[in-house]
Amino acid sequence: MKHFRIAAQYHLLGIVLLVLSSGKLPAAVPSAPVFGVYEVALDAIGQYVNPYTELSAEVVITEPDGQTQRMVPLFWDGDATWKFRFSPDRPGLWAWAVKSKDKGLDGQSGRFEVVASDRKGSIRPMKGFPLHFERQDGSPFWFMGDTAWALYTDSAEEKFDRAQAFRYIAERAAQGFNVLHSMLLSEAGWGNAGGPPFSDLAAEKINPAYWQEVDTRLAFANSKGMVCGLALAWGDKRKAEPYAWRKFPSVEARKRYARYVAARYSAYDVYFIVSGEWHAEVRTRPAPEAEVRKEFFEIGDVVKAADPHGRMIAIHPMTAGGSVREFNESGWMSFGDYQQNYTDLHARILESRRFNKPVVNSEYGYFLRDQNGDGVPDKDNSTSIEAMRHASWDIAMAGGYLVTGFGTTYFGGNRDPGPFDLNAAKNDPWEKQIGLIKQFFEALEWWKLQPHDELLRCATPRGKDRKELKMTAPPETTYWCLADPRRMYAVYVRGLNEPVKLTLADGSEVWRARQFDPRTGAWKDLKPGDGKTFAYRPPDMQDWVVLVTASQISNP
């Protein structure tokens, strides 16, 4: 007969914690919300020099049908404590049982009742429209991310800590962001209030206190509606990164860490990024590129196998090439592409849509970043509000999604003069205008719109990338179209002093047209045209958006 003691059971930010050791079986079955985090802590009784490397355990979780089972790894959380976390996706009575060579863990079992909740869960490709996203509850999700590489770390120099992280999360959520791009192991080597992530990486001495602080910040982000992309580690760019993938002592150590991260965090509203700038490993290791790539394929396999929730998985490239399309050969790549790309933004999204998965440009600009402090912005697509806005609309009008960034916040202040600055006045225009892109699309059934640039004709040709303050900037002149023919057409133009003509599906519909200002969000009614074509003459050379809809469609 198994004996248990419930030391704590609580609901906090959707988490339910159960601590079990010796004692009597609890009379009540604990409960957990659908898409919440159910956590159980157990005590191992064996003696281990390094529990992280010497012991493993997994729990078999049985769904309410009594037949379907999922395997979840346990993770070591300090002293004798081992935990598992699970996010149930349907109501009913669930059961669990642990398997381990440790006699204190092996055979432990229990049940929990899952109850309906208003939680939405993490993201996945949209059913029926796999180039787009939805939450696990089926609600559409227009992916708008901000870069927060330092989210889980502290820096006294940059005056960044948990309090600042919480302020940042709350502020970005209020501005409409729903994704945070973050790294678990800092490229700058930062730890947090719990210490470094590893006290000795070469000996694989993981520090649970660091990861407990990560838990706290990640749970807070989820409570504010944020889905967090978790980059496991970076490729080694020879910039003294102490926790780059190359610094792990072996392939086995890298895979052990990947399993640990999946075990600890897959129950949260997350997706995984196998590596930041993985190509850097090719530059710094003596192994051929094919061998290094194969290793990352295998690390992704480990993450997928250790995750019972099927979280989306990506990998992040260097700027050379800017794409990770080749990882669609794996069994785990959930994105058609997850770019770091600064040029030909629209075309590069279109190229990667052929995999019929969501396409994200995860690094295309950091607004007004001034890394050397000379007063001149020094990042492509980032030197003015116009360049940043144009770049973002070029991505969105190809049916892609984006992760943007601000020079003063994207790396905890590390890449811009002065400390972390959430309230920098220079950020105000972009904080407002990026939200207008999401606002525009969320008013529509945007997932039904496909790229149809061929429906637009203009005497002025589309332009090429140009230079602004010696940095790459989007073309001054262009025009794009997303359409659900016979129902809806979204047209984006800039740099035109003459009409652009849109060919409509046929002449049988009665159309309505409205103009949207991407700087202010203001709408204006337009004359709809003759029913076969719609000619739009912009009011000036700035960028404008036009929505043409069949009369039975409600305009925003």
Task: Give 483-548 as a 3 state SS string.
Answer: EECCCEEEEEEECCCCCEEEECCCCCCCEEEEEECCCCCCEEEECCCCCCEEEECCCCCCCEEEEE
Q: Indicate left, alpha or beta for 17 from its phi (over 0: left) and psi (-120 to 50: alpha).
A: beta
State both tokens at 480. 């794009």
Sorted by sequence, the CB contacts under 8 Å of residue 482 that are 6+ apart come out as: 397, 399, 446, 449, 450, 451, 452, 489, 490
Nearest-angstrom CA–CA distance, 255 and 296: 10
Average pLDDT per run of 10 along the chain, which is 556 residues long?
35 53 61 98 98 98 97 98 98 98 98 97 98 98 98 97 98 98 96 98 98 98 98 91 96 98 98 97 91 97 98 96 97 98 98 98 98 96 98 99 98 94 98 98 98 98 98 98 96 98 83 96 90 94 96 76
Give the pLDDT score at 15. Answer: 58
Nearest-angstrom CA–CA distance, 85 and 201: 25
Q: How many other β-carbons are positioned within 10 Å of the β-carbon of residue 443?
A: 14
450-550, CATH topology level:
Immunoglobulin-like (2.60.40)
Helices (H) and strands (E) in the chain, counts: 9, 34
Which residue is it, tokens 């493993």?
56
Nearest-angstrom CA–CA distance, 254 and 246: 9
Question: What percentage of the chain's residues is helix, strand, coil (to nearest 5)?
Answer: 25, 30, 50
Q: Indicate left, alpha or beta for 482 from its phi (over 0: left) and psi (-120 to 50: alpha).
A: beta
Alpha helices in 307-457 (DSSP H): 345-352, 385-396, 428-442
End-to-end CA distance of the chain: 62
Cβ–Cβ under 8 Å, residues 495 and 475: yes
Which superfamily is assigned to 135-444 in CATH? Glycosidases (3.20.20.80)
State both tokens at 50. 């390094």
11-115 CATH, one of 2.60.40.10, 3.40.50.970, 3.40.50.11720, 3.40.50.150 = 2.60.40.10
Q: How far is CA 481 from the centre of its chain?
A: 26
Nearest-angstrom CA–CA distance, 27 and 31: 13
Q: How many other β-carbons are positioned within 10 Å of the β-carbon of residue 3?
A: 11
State both tokens at 243. 């926790």
For helices 251-265 and 208-223, the axis angle rounded to 10 degrees is 40
Q: How far is CA 353 from the centre of its chain?
A: 18
Give the pLDDT score at 20. Answer: 53
Q: HSE on the CB side for 43, CA within 13 Å?
A: 11
Give the pLDDT score at 3. Answer: 34
Domain spans, the chain:
11-115, 135-444, 450-550
Q: How many other β-carbons are positioned within 10 Å of the β-carbon of residue 185?
A: 26
Nearest-angstrom CA–CA distance, 35 and 232: 23
Which residue is it, tokens 């400390």?
419
Give the pLDDT score at 515. Answer: 98
Residue 403: closest CA among 355, 493, 340: 340
Degrees (nearest 5) of the Cα angle 266, 301, 110? 40
Give the pLDDT score at 240. Answer: 83
Give the pLDDT score at 2. Answer: 42
Give the pLDDT score at 6. Answer: 32
Nearest-angstrom CA–CA distance, 390 and 263: 40
181: burial class by Cβ within 10 Å (0-12, 13-18, 19+)?
buried
- 450-550 shares the fold of 11-115: yes
State both tokens at 18. 């159960």
Give the pLDDT score at 23. Answer: 44
Report which residue type is found at 110.
Answer: G
* Residue 150: strand, helix, or coil: coil
Residue 235: closest CA among 335, 340, 162, 122: 340
Report which residue type is found at 325.
Answer: R
Cβ–Cβ under 8 Å, residues 10 and 117: no
Give the pLDDT score at 239. Answer: 78
Nearest-angstrom CA–CA distance, 174 and 224: 9
Sorted by sequence, the CB contacts under 8 Å of residue 87 that are 6+ apart come out as: 35, 36, 37, 38, 121, 122, 266, 267, 268, 309
For helices 208-223 and 162-174, the axis angle rounded to 10 degrees is 20
pLDDT tens digits along 38-82:
999 999 999 999 999 999 999 999 999 999 999 999 999 999 999
DSSP 26-54: -SSPPEEETTSEEEEEEE--S--S-HHHH
Give the pLDDT score at 8. Answer: 33
